[in-house]
Structure 1
Amino acid sequence: MHTSEQADQKLQAILQGSTPVLLDFSAEWCGPCKQLAPILKDVKAKTGDKVRILKIDVDKNPKLSQEWQISGVPTLMLFKEGKLLWRQSGVMPAHQLLQVLQQHVG
């Protein structure tokens, strides 16, 4: 079993990598988060290994949510090599999200 500190370190290591990482801050009780799930699945199918998508439950990770000032869910954050490239709250269509990813990661 991982402690939250080990999990934080693992996440930081992933975010520092050269593969772009899209974080999806969501919650079980959040309706729009449920709408976003198939959109992210579609985006993953179209981007393959070019982008890593990680879902973070704000209720299970309150420290992380507070650290990154997540005030509403869903919130998407795009990282590459440890840098935050883009952030947006709310649901967006797959084609729009794909455009954002292409702009930032090619």
Structure 2
Amino acid sequence: LYTFRRRLEISAALLFANALPPVLRAIFVADWDLEEPTLPFSERRAMTREVQAFRGNHNVSPETAIADVAAALRRNVDKTLLDRVLARLPAGAVDFWRASSE
């Protein structure tokens, strides 16, 4: 969630947050540094490395971490609403939340 959030302007991030259930929404906005520069979406492998670097030695994220979280997210949200919101976000947002089975 943090890796995705880092690629959105505040208004886009809040639009996405509103599509999440309350607990995920809270995780998504927790400890948000509003001064942090927005990063561009990049290829999946580079963003996976970013996920794996989060919390250093306490992180055991596999190579499939982003796709795994995307699949779990899609099982627990309104998929139609999520897809509608993602379509309004910057290029790369739809691909970021694509599960490997899609």
* TM value normalised by structure 2: 0.30
Where is the strand percentage greater, Structure 1 or Structure 2? 1
Where is the helix percentage greater, Structure 1 or Structure 2? 2
* TM value normalised by structure 1: 0.29
